[in-house]
Chains A and B, each alone.
Chain A
Amino acid sequence: MAWFLRTKDNITEKTQREMPDGLWTKCPTCSDIIYKRQLEENLFSCPKCNFHFRIGSEEFIDIIFDQGTFTETNNNLISSDTLNFVDTKPYKDRIIDAHKKTNLGDAITTGHGLVEGHKLSFGCMNFNFIGGSMGSVVGEKIFRAAKYSLEHKAPLLIITTSGGARMQEAALSLMQMAKTSAILGELAEASIAYITLLTDPTTGGVTASYGMLGDVILAEPGALIGFAGPRVIEQTIRRKLPAGFQRSEFLLEKGFVDTIVPRKDLKKTLVQMINWFGK
């Protein structure tokens, strides 16, 4: 894979931030010791128990796209604090801090490229940018990625990870649910394939809009996927949630996910599906 050759760019830095420093790491579920290089070669999933570590858009781009074919678009869209929102910290500062911490434009990276030679329009959310929250920028970038799909008759893939709508943009963030769903309606009318890949965690307004609107809905193993967060549900019903509740496997059983795709099979599965959908 390409990313550990590019030692100086921010991909390696980010990977290290998400996972403990050092040559090895401990799997949070099976406690196995995994060497960093082994983990990277296994696309950041545990070789022993298949636990999927959280990764970001850069890693997914490397996994999915043919090398050197991906072009990022609209990275110049930056969140604006039009409401002058202040809670325990001004939203303006949260945006600046998130840029510094992640080196990302916002909670989604969009663009297009080739997958085994097939053109694909693409968006991938980043959980480490303000909890992957959906504000105006996320909505507009998805809108433009969908427009690209319409103009180039290219399928659209969105990889989600999000705590939901961005509270600091209040009703404007809520409206992004309608905005993204409306443009996806245009894709549906034009018979352009839309694929979603739900990763850990995907909740709130993101699940309840473009997350659940795919022609096919894929999920990574063990991902938390839901509308309400587990904490909110526990507060409402005043009891503990059963083990495995709101995980990918649970959603598969309940009929809300088409198939669970381990990361190592992702590219192969996408190519098969893109072929099935046809031109």
Chain B
Amino acid sequence: MSSKIILDFEKPIVELEKKIEEMKLMSNDLDISSEIVFLEKKVNDLKLQVYKQLTRWQRVQIARHPERPLTLDYIHNCFDSFIELHGDRKFKDDPAIIGGFAELDGSPVMIVGHQKGRDTKSNLYRNFGMSNPEGYRKANRLFAMAEKFNRPVITFLDTPGAFPGIEAEERGQAEAIARNLMQMSSLKVPIVIVIIGEGASGGAIGIGVGDRVLMFENSWYSVISPESCSSILWRSWDFKEQAAEALQLTAVDLKKQGIIDEIIEEPIGGAHKDPDFMFKIVKSTLIKEIKQLQKLSQDKLIKNRREKFYQMGVWNE
């Protein structure tokens, strides 16, 4: 799939590809096939060179790519019979976090995930995937229901952060997130977390405590976005590249730090280059993970989950 949106570091690749296309059109008149073969090899080498050595900031850019598959794309392509369930039963429905019933390979599961928009209109509706307290409270309600009916939980993380607004504060953004952290850490059913795009801070971990935390190769997860980190620590918006490096926020980084369990590899260039491939991988991975977790007793499941988070942290003693 060729993208309409080109990231700055992808320009040399796209230019070379365009040149090859032009040459192919001319090749009816001239014999330049050997030259085309040469350039095709060159473009492949260039792709490997660029995409295999992405900087952390470049991965952040891919994680935010406007064509990147979103939570609903995974829901519709990896699951069957999705029924969306709305509302927190307290205040309202928050379109920035969605959830509901679905079947994974014939078995019932509960899905919860951040949902971004695709264009201006849908992004305004989804608040750019920035949830209000109602989103976390809806998740809380659905997690409790999953526990009540003994169904595994799958969450998809993709948020630039919990919404920092007046109403969000008035209605207890912090309390809503805190409540979920405690609930998820002791929930009696398996929880698998998949970080598909952006995992920004408390807004992400607010639906991110689970038995298995899987992370896409080109997604990021940290305490703060590189831009905000730059603005606070460097007192300028211009140090986002350095901030991304300093935060060590990629899947490989977090695997090293013991924060995530598995990296899900993406096609060269990112998930949007071959969504069907991603749907297949995600589906088969989830089936495998949930099968493994369902072998554990309830006590063991919760004990392992807690123990995993208790181990997190590095200090001198």
Alpha-carbon separation in the docked complex, A184 to B186 (Å): 10
Kindly supply a per-residue 1/0 record for chain B positions 169-180, scoring 1 wherever the CB is within 8 Å of any chain A CB and 0 otherwise.
111111101110
Residues of chain A contacted by B166 (CB below 8 angstroms) = 233, 237, 241, 245
Q: Contacting B315 at CB < 8 Å: which of A80, A167, A227? A: A80
A80 touches B233 (CB 8 A): no
**Interface range on chain A (Cβ under 8 Å from partner):** 35 or more
Alpha-carbon separation in the docked complex, A236 to B310 (Å): 34
Q: Contacting A167 at CB < 8 Å: which of B162, B178, B223, B254? A: B223
Alpha-carbon separation in the docked complex, A166 to B246 (Å): 13
A residues whose Cβ falls under 8 Å from a Cβ of B: 76-80, 82-83, 85-88, 135-137, 139-140, 143, 165-167, 169-179, 181-186, 188-189, 204-205, 207-213, 226-228, 232-233, 236-237, 241, 245-246, 254-256
Q: In terms of DSSP, what is the predominant structure of the interface of chain B?
A: helix
Alpha-carbon separation in the docked complex, A245 to B166 (Å): 9
Alpha-carbon separation in the docked complex, A183 to B312 (Å): 13
B164 touches A211 (CB 8 A): no
Cβ distance A43 to chain B, nearest Cβ, rounded Å:
27
Q: Contacting B249 at CB < 8 Å: which of A88, A171, A179, A205? A: A171
Alpha-carbon separation in the docked complex, A208 to B313 (Å): 18
Alpha-carbon separation in the docked complex, A185 to B243 (Å): 34
Q: In terms of DSSP, what is the predominant structure of the interface of chain A?
A: helix
A176 touches B315 (CB 8 A): no
A182 touches B249 (CB 8 A): no
Q: Looking across the interface, which residue of chain A has its beta carbon closest to that of B201?
A: A174
A178 touches B181 (CB 8 A): yes
B residues whose Cβ falls under 8 Å from a Cβ of A: 162-166, 168-175, 177-179, 181-183, 185-186, 201-202, 205-206, 208-209, 221-224, 228-229, 232-235, 239, 242-243, 246-249, 253-254, 257, 259, 305-306, 309-310, 312-317
Name, among A79, A169, A172, A211, the residue most crowded by chain B CB atoms within 10 Å (CB to CB).
A172
A205 touches B306 (CB 8 A): no
Say whether, besides A172-B312, A186-B306, A205 and B182 are in contact (CB < 8 Å).
Answer: no
A177 touches B181 (CB 8 A): yes
A78 touches B317 (CB 8 A): yes
Q: Contacting A80 at CB < 8 Å: which of B177, B183, B228, B316? A: B316
Alpha-carbon separation in the docked complex, A245 to B167 (Å): 11
Residues of chain B contacted by A173 (CB below 8 angstroms) = 223
Q: Contacting B314 at CB < 8 Å: which of A172, A174, A177, A182? A: A172
Alpha-carbon separation in the docked complex, A205 to B162 (Å): 11
B232 touches A175 (CB 8 A): no
Say whether, besides A79-B315, A167-B233, A204-B202, A182 and B246 are in contact (CB < 8 Å).
Answer: no
